[in-house]
Structure 1
């Protein structure tokens, strides 16, 4: 689906690391912690989060997710993809300069959520994202939708419904590839040391 294979990062390039998972699985918290650790290690790093709600496209998506406006399902899927594409030039520039990117959601979320709707196939949902920079590592945070529903403000946004999240979780399983690592977060957050080792392993593998 995406352009670059794991293990082909040139020396001096940054790593592209993505956190994925269903809503309220802890992705944002783990992204922040990994960014903070990399900063402490004086490793150039930049966080990204999709959808990026600061752009014009992102503001349309925000209105949709917060139930302030309705958008036809095909159209909103393309908006989510366009929101990723509009940041690709910045992402590529940073990667080529040696900056590691820590990304909260990516194309896999876009595919998993739209394919959870009636009348959509995973193959169709993949098409708009073909050619995006491919992650060196995807960290999938595994949490059941039932457990996620007990967290925070679950239910506030459009897709935060247990039935929807169950279908999304099944789609994520269909998208897993060799460069994914799955972490069970049902019993608490990831231990810092575990993703420190994960990053180091990714960095060594990508540079080889």
Structure 2
């Protein structure tokens, strides 16, 4: 049986990494976090994110993030083909949303108030320590996520509002979705769906 691919996307410091790790542990699967800062490309991304004096063009940054994901693509495909469940903390949707957020032309329909949760985000440990962890930029990223995800027409995507939930409450909400959907919404080639975005 082919492994299943679970993807966590969202704003910075919203609990994605915690929930992705919990799900990977529960499924006895493999967790991938992007950017993967352990590779040479990931080290360049980490420097860009944490050192404001390290300047790159938007196009270069987008290509670095894309290359970082490609570094692991064949390994992920091999695991899925071998029956291992894969949980990813960010992937291509983040790359698109963060790149689009730099362009003020985003005009997504808001699914909920962009300010919901922003006050809470600012209180999280480490908030603001990286280049993109600024409130106005995160609001644009959220808008772009909604534009890119197309959850209203793509039944394999489910948006979960975890504002105000503790770690275990968020885990319960996410696990309920996994139990309800994981065995039914199987995409034959989960990585191929990302190619269909354009």
TM value normalised by structure 2: 0.80
Alpha-carbon distance in structure 2 between the residues aligned to 1:116 and 1:207: 30
Q: Which residue of 1 aligns with 2:24?
A: 35
The answer on 1:19 being equivalent to 2:3 is no
Runs of 4+ in 1 over 6 A off after TM superposition: 119-122
Instruction: Say if 2:62 is the partner of 1:89.
Output: no
What is the aligned-residue RMSD (CA, Å)? Answer: 2.2
**Deviates further, 68-77 or 51-60:** 68-77
Q: Which residue of 2 aligns with 1:65?
A: 49
Contact 2:69 2:91 in 1 (8 A): yes
The corresponding residue for 2:178 is 199
Structure with more contact order per residue of length (Cα contacts < 8 Å, sep ≥ 6):
1
Gaps of 5+ in 1: 1-11, 40-44, 123-141
CA contact (8 A) 1:22 1:143 kept: no
Shift of 1:15: 0.6
Which segment drifts farther, 19-28 or 176-185?
A: 176-185
How far apart are 1:196 and its partner, in Å? 2.6
Greater strand share, 1 or 2? Answer: 1
Which of 66, 71, 76 is residue 61 of structure 2 equivalent to?
Answer: 76
CA contact (8 A) 1:63 1:69 kept: yes
Partner of 1:114: 99
Alignment length (residue pairs): 173
- SS of the aligned residue for 2:2 comes to coil
After TM superposition, the score normalised by the length of structure 1 is 0.76
What secondary structure is seen at the aligned counterpart in 1 of 2:158? strand
2:143 pairs with 1:170: yes
